[in-house]
Amino acid sequence: MESFAYQAPDSLDAAVALLAEQREASVRTQILAGGTDMIVQLRSVDRAPRMIVDIKRIPETRSIKLGADGLILGAAVTGAELSARDDVTAIYPGLVEAADLIGSTQIQGRASVGGNLCNASPAGDTIPALIANGAICQIAGPGGWRELPVEDFVVGVGRNALEPGEFLVALRLPAAQPRSADAYLRFTPRSEMDIAVASAGVRLAVDEDGVCTEARVAIGAVAVTALLVPEAAEALIGTRLDDAACAAAAAASTAAARPISDKRGTEAYRRTVVGVLTRRAAVIARDRALGGQA
């Protein structure tokens, strides 16, 4: 590993100022959250020197606020911290499951949802779950504060929409509808310590009669970025989420996927499996939403 500089500002303002200063001085900077992507990359792919700015001492990045307006999830909250919160798990079980799939017990102690999103891997597990939940990125930078939907945040493989000097502070998830739930599934040949071959996140709400009133479906690992699939959502809305509707949503995901063939799976395989996962995730979300009613 090359030598590098390290700073850990303890407030939002200090972090914004430090990043602006470094940008002026044309110093390459990189944000550090849990480091489970970054340190691996620093040791293998990209070893060039840089200043590392650790955001974990900034209170806003470490807090979980659940209220009537929804959830504000600090960007550096770890998977272990998130899954310890039963109140959050009750409302966003799919997102918590997605975060919980990352790595192993050891990795869970460091890995953050924000880091997973900013790392912008096509197979990042929390990204489809965030998109399905309509999550919004809260970004701080030299120009102030801005918000951006997650589906617009990831712009390519390993690339996100942050401008120089900006960083992700938190994720904002809208308040959950009554009788609504989410679910996330990924397919990996192994049970853990693996990377998604395809994945699907579904959030949906049903009315008192069990008819689907709202739905969002997002798929992962089948294109350069996770995709929001409105056609799959449309296939669910207005139905009782019966087999035919779930199969139609599956077909919509299969059609929307733009996978490649590689060592992890062929194009045809990924298309098929992303449909299977969409169908199964829709069924889980439906059962959760209906179960919540009882």
Partner 1 sequence: MSEAIKAEDFKQIGSRPIRPDGLDKVTGRANFGADFSLPGMLHGRFLRSPHGHARIRSIDVKAALAVPGVKAIVTGKDFPDVEPGDIQGGEGGGDYHDMAVNVMARDKVLYHGHAVAAVAATSVRAAEEAVRAIKVEYEPLPVVLDIDTAMAPDAPLLHEHLYTEGLPEKPARPSNVAQVMESSRGDIEAGFAEADVIIERTYYTPTVHQGYIEPHACLARWGQDEQSTVWCCTQGSFDVRSMTARVLDISVSSLKVIPTEIGGGFGGKTTVYLEPVAIVLSRLSGRPVKLVMTREEVFRASGPASASKIKLKIGARKDGKLTAMSAWMAYEAGAFKGSPMVPGVMCVFAPYDVPAFKAEGYDVLVNKPKVAAYRAPGAPQALFATESAMDELARKLNMDPIELRLKNAVRDGSQAAYGPKFHAIGMEACLQAARAHPNYKRPLGPNQGRGVAVGFWFNVGMQSSAEIHINEDGTATVIEGNPDIGGSRASMALMAAEELGIPYKDVRVLVADTEAAGFTNVTGGSRVTFATGMAVIEAARDIISQLKQRAAALWNVDADMVDWVDGKVVARPGVNVEADPLSLADIAAQSAKTGGPLLGRASLNARGAGPSFSVNLCDVEVDPDTGKVDVLSYTAIQDAGKAIHPSYVEGQMQGGAVQGIGWALNEEYIFDAEGVMENAGFLDYRIPVASDLPMIDTQIIEIANPGHPYGVRGVGETPIVAPLAAVANAVNAATGLQMTELPLSPPRILAALEAAKG
Among 15, 16, 38, 226, binds ligand FAD (CB under 6 A): 38
Residue 29 near ligand FAD by CB under 6 A: no
What gap in Å lies between CA 64 and CA 70, rounded to an integer? Answer: 11
Regarding 293 and contact with partner 1 (CB under 8 A), the answer is no
Rounded distance, CA 115 to CA 75, Å? Answer: 7
**Which residues lie below 8 Å from residue 171, measured CB to CB, with a gap of 6+?**
71, 72, 73, 75, 113, 114, 117, 130, 135, 136, 137, 138, 150
- Number of residues lying near partner 1 (CB under 8 A): 19
- Considering only 14, 39, 80, 195, the residue that binds partner 1 (CB under 8 A) is 195
Pairing mode, if any, of strands 144-149 and 5-7?
Answer: unpaired
Per-residue binding letters, 158-197, with ligand FAD (x by CB under 6 A)? ----x----xx------------------------x----
Nearer to ligand FAD, 30 or 293 (CB): 30
Which listed residue (69, 207, 262, 287) binds partner 1 by CB under 8 A?
A: 262
| Ordered alpha helix ranges (H), the chain | 12-24, 38-43, 59-62, 79-83, 86-91, 93-101, 105-108, 113-119, 126-132, 150-153, 230-236, 243-256, 267-293
The C-alpha atoms of residue 197 and residue 123 are separated, in whole angstroms, by 7
Q: Which of 155, 157, 175, 193 binds partner 1 (CB under 8 A)?
A: 193
Give the contacts of 25 (CB within 8 A, at least 6 positions apart): none
Choose the stretch contacting ligand FAD; rule: CB under 6 A; options: 113-121, 206-214, 246-254, 269-277.
113-121
With contacts defined by CB under 8 A, name the span among 12-20, 69-77, 128-136, 258-266 that binds partner 1: 258-266
- Residue 154 or 284 having the CB closest to ligand FAD: 154
Interface residues with ligand FAD (CB under 6 A)?
A: 30-38, 40, 55, 75, 101-103, 107, 110-112, 114-116, 118-119, 124-125, 162, 167-168, 193
